[in-house]
């Protein structure tokens, strides 16, 4: 019996889903065991030329009507947003006993546990492979393939826009604002790039990865968040001197003291797989104890990779591969115990922009010593008496809260011309 699909949202991804389902129909039937057909669709403008054939597909002006159609078995939600039409459509579809496939990471980050519970209560699937890293099959890997491993951490480059910007800054030496403008012109960044460059998009994906890996409910509020706006070309150049590259990472780690979740620019050692991920590509590392790290890399966005992930979920639904959305029943997803910043430790890259006057180094060293922070290596470039110069340090492992206190004290000095820069060193 044909699996009948209603699709809400015919932008880049939605149009791609239509293309794949029609161009790969014979192959998909062979893999799914039955036909998958789009019977209804909804988008803002029915007259827009999307470069796809919509013949034979019923049009709904109101996307919510898809949830009420008797000829729809599964609703594909590609509207986006954590509230509004997207949330209403998914909730109505699940309550109408219709399967849901979505690429909406924001919706799941905010309401994932409740939506997963609704899908189980109504005996239908909630699938979201396309919500995290586009064409990388990381959701299925964590939910199914790696369930026999004790996943201790998941970390990765989860936003292609930020990775493109940092890669270009490194290769050209240009400033963040200049490269961001280029990224917008090329379509890598939105007109309002805040969600990407501020780390919010990465945080949405990270909390879903943590839930899949650790069996906890999505905990967006528990993520410590820093974007890439403060990364300077000088930081990238200093990183290279020390043998590192700067990447925006999402890191979730399980410890005996709690779950650590953070999004921030990080120093990643050159020559490691994560450091080598360039341009707009994404990558995820799942640390699986004695089995070692599993590394996944691929395009995290774009029509073909993301549409393929949506279609993969539809094939699973057609096969009857349902199961809990996060790999275990929603009732078993527990609120994570958050790791306190006084417990978390790391080595850090520190950059101070200071006046080149006597005593400045002694003052910085005193504040670091007061917090028991020791220095592994240091660089100072040039001499410009009375003018700002950079002092750069790599610390040994230190408490996060201790480093923050030390930098606050140092920033109060009249010899420091701008807020100190702090970037954690990510272990291999």
Active site residues: 205
Angle at 217 between CA 423 and CA 106, to 5 degrees: 70
Report the DSSP pairing between strands 421-426 and 258-269.
parallel
Neighbouring residues of 9: CB distance < 8 A, sequence distance ≥ 6 = 42, 43, 63, 76, 77, 78, 79, 80
CA distance 246 to 227: 12
Q: How many CB atoms lie within 10 A of CB 278?
A: 16
CA distance 323 to 329: 8
Q: What are phi and psi of 425, to 5 degrees?
A: -90, 120
Q: What are phi and psi of 265, to 5 degrees?
A: -60, 140
Tokens of 10: 């015919």
Report the DSSP pairing between strands 74-77 and 58-59.
unpaired
Report the DSSP pairing between strands 293-299 and 281-287.
antiparallel
The residue with tokens 């650790």 is 214
Tokens of 27: 């192959």
Neighbouring residues of 70: CB distance < 8 A, sequence distance ≥ 6 = none
């Amino acid at each position: 019996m044909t699996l009948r699909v209603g699709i809400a949202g015919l932008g880049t991804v939605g149009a791609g889903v239509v293309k794949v389902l029609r161009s790969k129909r014979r192959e998909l039937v062979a893999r799914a065991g039955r036909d998958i057909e789009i019977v209804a669709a909804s988008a803002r403008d029915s007259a827009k030329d999307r470069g796809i054939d919509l013949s034979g597909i019923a049009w709904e002006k109101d996307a919510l009507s898809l949830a009420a159609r008797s000829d729809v078995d599964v609703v594909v939600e590609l509207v986006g947003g954590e509230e509004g039409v997207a949330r209403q459509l998914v909730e109505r579809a699940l309550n109408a006993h219709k399967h849901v496939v979505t690429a909406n990471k924001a919706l799941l980050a905010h309401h994932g546990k409740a939506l997963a519970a609704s899908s189980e209560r109504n005996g239908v699937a909630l699938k979201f492979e396309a919500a995290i890293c586009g064409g990388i099959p990381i959701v299925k890997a964590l939910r199914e393939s790696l369930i026999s491993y004790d996943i201790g951490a998941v970390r990765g480059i989860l936003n292609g826009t930020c990775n493109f910007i940092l890669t270009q800054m490194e290769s050209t030496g240009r400033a963040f604002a200049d490269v961001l403008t280029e990224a917008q012109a090329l379509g890598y960044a939105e007109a309002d790039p805040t969600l990407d460059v501020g780390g919010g998009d990465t945080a949405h994906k990270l909390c879903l990865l943590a839930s899949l890996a650790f069996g906890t409910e999505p905990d967006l509020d528990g993520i410590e968040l820093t974007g890439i706006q403060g990364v300077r070309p000088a930081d990238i150049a200093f990183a290279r001197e020390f043998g590192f590259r700067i990447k925006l990472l999402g890191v979730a780690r399980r410890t005996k003291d709690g779950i650590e979740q953070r999004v921030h620019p990080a120093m990643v050692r050159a020559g490691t797989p994560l450091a080598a991920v360039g341009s707009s590509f994404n990558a995820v590392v799942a640390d699986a104890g004695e089995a070692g790290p599993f590394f996944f890399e691929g395009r995290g966005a774009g029509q073909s990779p993301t549409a393929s992930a949506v279609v993969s979920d539809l094939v699973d639904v057609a096969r009857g591969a349902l199961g809990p959305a996060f790999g275990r029943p929603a009732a078993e997803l527990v609120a994570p115990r958050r790791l306190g910043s006084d417990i978390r430790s790391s080595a850090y890259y520190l950059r101070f922009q200071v006046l080149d006057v006597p005593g400045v180094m002694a003052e910085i060293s005193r504040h670091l010593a007061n917090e028991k922070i020791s220095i592994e290596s240091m660089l100072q470039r040039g001499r410009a008496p009375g003018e700002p110069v950079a002092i750069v340090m790599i610390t040994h492992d230190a408490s996060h809260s201790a480093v923050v206190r030390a930098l606050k004290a140092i920033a109060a000095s009249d010899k420091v011309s701008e807020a100190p820069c702090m970037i954690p060193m990510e272990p291999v």
